[in-house]
Structure 1
Amino acid sequence: MPGRPSTTADRPRRTARASTTRRRAACRPTAFAGPACRPTPMRTCTDPWASWTTSPPRSSIRGWRPAGSIAPAPHQPPGGPVGSGPEVSFARSGLHVPWNDVQESLLELAEACDVPVQWSCRTGVCHTCELAMMSGTVDYYPDPVEPPAEGNILICCSKPTDDVVLDL
């Protein structure tokens, strides 16, 4: 329109379409059926499962450890006198250890045996270390702020009074 300044809306649209069409033509893959604009090295990638005659394997979390993990397997506590107290069994780890009064709590025994366990406070406040006790009885020192749920214990502040089986 005469007398009005030119804006982008006044320009012909075919110029924009022509440049888009040229860009699309330049990005078309040659023999790759994937998305159009991939870098050249990605265009030559092949399907890693293409050579499989059956479906690809399914991933599983069971038994998985990160690459480079050097976490030791659970074992008897190193050195020190052998305990003469009640037997502490870690069910998942398959470890049976006699209680020794050298440890202040079941948490310290689990750590000495490299049994993986979660904890935070070590005084029975946070309940992070709460886990199922399959059998046995324990005493608490110090007493937890709130008791654990029925059938569970706080291993950070508990000591066995007789043979116990823990879900660890």
Structure 2
Amino acid sequence: MDGTSDLPRLAAAAGRVLVVLSETYAQAMHRDLTALAATGCEVVLIGGACDLDGIVRVPANAALRHTLGGTLTSLNVRMAASWLEHCAPGHLISPAAQARWTSWASQTARPERYARQPMSDEQVIDFIRKMKDLYPDSSRTRLLRLLRDEGMACEQKRFGALYSSTIGGQR
């Protein structure tokens, strides 16, 4: 393998490409995206890390999560589906589609604000123990959701580490 991507070649054959990438993946694929931009094809990038000449980029917009549903992790995929709904059949890019998208996004965007209270490690551990007593079959993810639903704050990675140190190998 020579390290080059087939993406530009495939794009040239298809004539249009919809690319859906997180910021991290877009950074890793920057060279491929630059080559793709140079093909002259219709290219739309949902998410991504930066604007590139030759590619229409629709940056990730967490304020659309309320309307599109789901988690932030999969928001770009749902944004891509919505983008396609705003396009004319057979086209990914048109001034009318871009105007429809921009209008729709500005009307439906609702920034989420959380007023959750920070917790010490001891408070999180106490919460985990209490919830495991009440709901012994609950997963770590479910307990984090319960904690957040009660208006408390804890970053996912930190919660996972505290859960593992408290519960150990238990589910």
Give the alignment's TM-score, normalised by structure 2: 0.19
Give the alignment's TM-score, normalised by structure 1: 0.19
State which structure, 1 or 2, has the greater radius of gyration over its C-alpha atoms: 1
Question: Going by fraction, where is helix more abundant, 1 or 2?
Answer: 2
Higher RCO (CA 8 Å, separation ≥ 6 residues): 1
